[in-house]
């Protein structure tokens, strides 16, 4: 981001300082043309030794009056061209069920005394290793989903504000056909992270294997299809 040198600011007249502010707005809007033209304008008015000009004050004023409507026009175009939500994609995620919970509710879901092996994977849409391993998890789940005493849960650690725009679309795109939770309890992470497993430092992906409230195994690293299959077969 452009920040004028303090030694230059002192010599900037009102027009130049106005354009410095307008430049910041143009840069934030991502308007490359405005950025370039404005930079040239300010350099001229800062009397940079490497960019001299023979413009008279009147010519510089005319340039200013031309740049103002250009700024407004480009700003309008920039706003109009901002990415718009994909309504069709959002519509397709309406059937996706993700239960937003705090830790106690999540814990109750996988510590039931029901003789079921719960494979609980902690992930997030912004976690590349998490996303990379999810297809393997789905392949393994397809293999075991009809097995008595087995259930897979995916627990997103994304911000709840990203549920509709990131989490659900990824669930749809990757066809993550399991039970989903979003753990919205970040202010107490220092409590629930060690409660899930004492060795866990909170890094993801991480996978918990648990039955009847007893932890059988905790994996604090990515798992491929073979390793995950072996662990499930070991504990079933």
pLDDT digits (tens, 9 = 90+) for 30-51: 444 443 444 444 334 444 444 4
Over the range 193-215, which residues count as b (16 or more CB within 10 Å of their CB) and which as e? beebbeebeeebbbbbbbbeeee
Q: Is the pLDDT of residue 103 over 50?
A: yes
Residue 111 · residue 210 · CB < 8 Å = yes
Distances (CA, A) of 205 to 13, 36, 124, 132, 134: 55, 43, 8, 10, 10
Rounded Cα distance between 99 and 94, Å, is 13
pLDDT at 180 over 80: yes
Name the CA radius of gyration of the chain, rounded: 28
In this predicted structure, what is the pLDDT of residue 96? 87
Query: Which DSSP letter does residue 188 get?
Result: G
Is the pLDDT reported for residue 201 higher than 90? yes
Q: Which of 71-80, 130-139, 150-159 shows the lowest per-residue confidence on average (mean pLDDT)?
A: 71-80
Asked whether the beta carbons of 103 and 136 are under 8 A apart, the reply is no
Provide the CATH number for the domain formed by 87-235 in this structure.
Answer: 3.40.30.10
Place of tokens 């700003």: 75
The β-bridge relationship of strands 117-123 and 206-211 is: antiparallel
> For the residues of 73-87, what is the DSSP string, one character each?
HHHHHHHHTSPPP-H
Domain range annotation of the chain? 6-80, 87-235
Cα–Cα distance between 130 and 135 in angstroms, integer?
Answer: 10
């Amino acid at each position: 981001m452009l920040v004028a040198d303090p030694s230059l600011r002192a010599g900037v007249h009102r027009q130049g300082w106005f354009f410095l502010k307008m430049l910041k707005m143009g840069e934030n809007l991502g308007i490359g043309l405005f950025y370039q033209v404005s930079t040239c304008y300010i350099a001229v008015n800062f009397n940079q030794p490497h960019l001299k000009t023979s413009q008279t004050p009147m010519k510089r004023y005319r340039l200013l009056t031309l740049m103002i409507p250009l700024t407004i026009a480009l700003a309008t175009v920039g706003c109009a061209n901002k990415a718009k939500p994909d309504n069709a994609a959002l519509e397709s995620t309406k059937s996706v069920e993700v239960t937003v919970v705090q830790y106690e509710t999540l814990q109750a879901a996988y510590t039931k005394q029901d003789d079921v092996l719960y494979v609980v994977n902690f992930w997030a849409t912004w976690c590349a290793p998490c996303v990379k391993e999810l297809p393997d998890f789905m392949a393994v789940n397809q293999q075991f989903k009809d097995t008595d005493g087995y259930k897979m849960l995916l627990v997103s650690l994304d911000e709840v504000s990203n549920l509709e725009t990131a989490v659900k679309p990824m669930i749809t795109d990757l066809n993550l056909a399991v039970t989903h939770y979003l753990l919205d309890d970040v202010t107490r992470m220092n409590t629930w992270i060690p409660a899930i497993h004492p060795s866990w430092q909170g890094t993801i992906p991480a996978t918990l294997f648990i039955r009847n409230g007893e932890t059988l195994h905790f994996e604090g690293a990515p798992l491929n299809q073979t390793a995950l299959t072996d662990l499930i077969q070991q504990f079933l």
